[in-house]
Amino acid sequence: MTTNGYPFLSRKQVLERIASDPAFVVECVAILQDRYARRAALAGEAAGWTASHVSRAIALAAKLASGGASEKERTEAAKLASGYTKQLARVYRERELAARPELAGQAAVFGIGPASTSPRTAPETPHAASPVAPGTATAPDVPPAPRKRRAGRPKGSKNKHKTTGETGGRRKRT
């Protein structure tokens, strides 16, 4: 259990449960198989198996769903599912948020939220609500200008810089 107040199943916790709970592995493989099957509906986000795992994963998912998987196949499924902890943690977080909407405030603290809201919105800063003394101008929050690249050759380069007056390139034969 983490002490930072994160109320959802983390990637590390998903990995630990996959290693210790065979029923959880079956559930995770079913989630990933379902996400792979509806990949078109989840456009723009990670959805199910990667191309390199798809053929073996579909076969394992079918065997696990039917209950006819051997111990070797269960171990292989656990190893396969352990590579998808980020997706699985997200699925469990979304389920928890749907079941308990009161967690949305805590989720916002960590910059996450339901898919319908934008998690990238900046939280209100305390100094924005503070009164401004009369007669003082307030500068808008403008990001700093990008640093200009220093003239000269890049570190490790053997080429001469063109503004130094030296000619670069090959020596001419005389």
Q: What share of the chain is helix, strand, coil (3-state, %, to 5)?
A: 50, 0, 50
Q: How far apart are CA 39 and CA 25, in angstroms?
A: 21
Give residue 83's pLDDT: 92
Q: Is 67 exposed, middle or buried (0-12, 13-18, 19+ CB in 10 A)?
A: exposed
pLDDT for 135 equals 52
Answer yes or no: are the C-beta atoms of 143 and 123 closer than 8 Å: no
**Token couple for 59:** 């076969």
pLDDT of residue 118: 42
pLDDT tens for 98-128 read 888 777 777 776 767 654 444 444 444 444 4
- The pTM of this model reads 0.57
Which regions in the chain score pLDDT beneath 70? 1-4, 40, 44, 46, 109, 111, 113-143, 149-155, 157-172, 174
DSSP state of 45: S
pLDDT at 42: 72
